[in-house]
Amino acid sequence: MQRDLEKLQQKHYDLLVIGGGIHGAFVAWDATLRGLSVALIDRGDFGGATSANSLKTVHGGLRYLQDGDLKLVRKMIRERRAYLRIAPHLVHPLPCVMPTYRPLKKNKLLLRPALVLNDLLGSDRNNGLDQVAHLPKSKPLTKDELFERLPGLDPTGVTGGVSWHDGQVYNSERFLISILQSAASVGADIANYVTAQNLLFATEDQTRVIGANVCDQLTEKEFEIKASLVVNATGAWTDQLLSQIKPKSRFKQPRFHLSTAINVVTRQFIDGIGAGIFGQYQPDPDKPNKKSRLLFISPWRTYSIIGTVHQFFDGDPAEHKVTDAMVQALLDEVNEAYPGAELTLDDVKLVHRGFLPTTADRDGDVKLVRKGQIHDHLNEDGVAGLISAVGVKYTTARDVAEQTVDMVIEKLELDYAPSTTAQTPVFGGNFLSLKSLIIDAQGRKSHRLDYKDVISLVYNYGREYETILFMMDDEDDQVDHLPLTQPHEKMIAAQVRLAIREEMAITLADVIRRRTDFGSAGHPGAELINFCAEIMAAELDWDASKIEQEIDAVDALYAFATHAAVVEPQAPLEKVL
């Protein structure tokens, strides 16, 4: 991954992808694998917006069985298997439970048959997977078995429970970077901190898009990127980009309505399993008939992730703020449903914030759009050369990208080639056995790394963990005024250098939040941040003022309103194999 802006200016591409989140990344990789020349740009860092907001779960669509949408359930199961296959170091099985109650929709009599049907629809769920990635069948739980797993649950009305397995992403930011690395390794040209200021049009009547006028955020230099077709994958900013075209009258109003999506990372209060728990809405005199909703608490590393809060949102996504009151309302709901949690704002390590598309209906609760949407603006607006890919779920991003590239190939009148991203390992994922890879990494005794460090490297980098070990050995990489004597220090320094040299990290926040797992669960502490800043300063020739500026920017990422929680750096990882 090299940031070559000269190449972006000089080359004419088959496809320009605007937006480097999970959907844009998959589009770029899929299109490049199918033989297209591809450029991808992002206004900030890759995955810095909604793609960073995740419960880290890869769903099999169990929730959609109650609506009878078997086709969507089947798709979710297929995509979950694809993620487990192509990124075996990053996506792992997650056991889940849900309590049952007497009301029909929460009753064992309904949930048990639903789980049996789910198992039947997913009978091939383990085909082609590493043994450690296999998902067992679902099963009912007695009341005693449920409370062994959820001892802090409010027992009122509980009749038992059900158990099933889904997937979990160990590091969703590394997953995205791995997809971008995969795209770059087969020829895609990508660059972060490049803003698409204006679409380029071939004619004065603006009926054909031929690229974009862009600005390099690092130098403020403007230039053009030419392409036969442009895919708008800007997520919450989709309408902002589309405001540049002249839509037909029926599309003058915003077509993509947004909801905020807020998840919270806290100290762990449910260990080892994901839990679907029915919480109660906060009292609302204007909506007295609001019913309970399902909260999901995901055990992630040594923390819990709670989600998701949805609220209608209008305006510029960049202006949205998370307040103490928003977070406290979620904690209150969790504490009511699971009294054993006893959560306070001091337990909050990190707040995830993103945006999801909703239906136009603003009466009642937020109704999310269920399926990814691909818009051909020639048919919808009379503007050729432009497609918008609007994703909804992290799990189905690959599938939305496949459909998008199918449309791209059709519009470019190229020979059709099928997508291979459901079978092709991502960068670092080309190995047969995760267990064998970990054993191999543990055998590298010369580096004297602790088990938790070995696990961290393998889970984050897969087979590419060896690159970190090679960089740890490179004496030329040592900083004169910062002698690196401990294996742990050398490992951290090597990860920072790799992020800069090969993963297009520009800022300290890029490294702390999106290239490593140092700060992905909360503020990692001043000592680690300062250490990483010194390594970056030596690599990028930062002065003292620049170092201070970068550290302040990182600290600001962990503050919502007045609260900023600090996690212990390098918290121990659970042994999963």
Segment 229-262, tens digit of pLDDT: 999 999 888 888 888 887 653 445 566 787 778 8
Going from the C-alpha of 331 to that of each of 243, 263, 366, the distances in angstroms are 38, 11, 20
pLDDT tens digits along 261-276: 889 999 999 999 999 9
Within 10 A of 486 (CB to CB), how many other CB atoms are there?
10
The pLDDT of residue 479 is 67
Q: Residues with Cβ < 8 Å from 151, sequence gap 6 or more?
A: 340
Q: Is 570 left (phi over 0), alpha (psi -120 to 50) or beta?
A: left
**What element of type H or E holds 298?**
strand 293-300
**pLDDT digits 0-9 by tens, 288-331:** 555 567 899 999 989 999 988 877 777 777 777 788 888 998 99
The pLDDT-based confidence of 477 (bands split at 50, 70, 90) is low
Structure tokens at 396: 């189905």
Residue 88 is which amino acid? P
Distance CA 60, CA 214 (A): 39
Q: Which residue has the higher pLDDT, 358 or 193?
A: 193
pTM over 0.75: yes
pLDDT at 391: 87
| Cβ atoms of 517 and 570 closer than 8 Å | no
Q: What is the mean pLDDT of residues 550-567?
A: 70
User: Which of left, alpha, beta for 104 (phi over 0: left; psi -120 to 50: alpha)?
Assistant: alpha
Strand 12-18 with 38-41, pairing: parallel
Helices (H) and strands (E) in the chain, counts: 17, 19
Which residues on neighbouring strands pair with residue 472, listed in sequence order?
Answer: none
Q: What is the pLDDT of residue 67?
A: 74
**Residues 235, 357: Cα–Cα separation, whole Å:** 9
pLDDT number for residue 576: 37
Q: In whole angstroms, how large is the CA radius of gyration of the chain?
A: 24
Tens digit of each residue's pLDDT (9 = 90 or more) over 439-455: 999 988 777 899 999 99
Question: What local confidence, expressed as pLDDT, does residue 406 receive?
Answer: 97
Helix (H/G/I), strand (E/B), else coil: 25: helix
- The 10s digit of each residue's pLDDT in 398-453 is 999 999 999 999 999 999 999 999 999 999 999 999 999 999 999 887 778 999 99
As given in the structure block, the two tokens for residue 564 are: 């900023």
pLDDT band at 476 (very low <50, low <70, confident <90, very high): low
223 burial type by CB count under 10 A (0-12 exposed, 13-18 middle, 19+ buried)? middle
Q: What is the rounded distance in angstroms from the CA atom of residue 154 to the CA atom of residue 145?
A: 15
pLDDT of residue 3: 95
Domains of the chain with CATH codes? 5-51+173-255+370-412 (3.50.50.60), 91-170+256-358 (3.30.9.10), 434-564 (1.10.8.870)
Per-residue pLDDT at 283: 44
Tell me which H or E stretch contains 90: none
State the average pLDDT for the chain.
88
What is the phi/psi pair of residue 211, to 5°?
145, -155
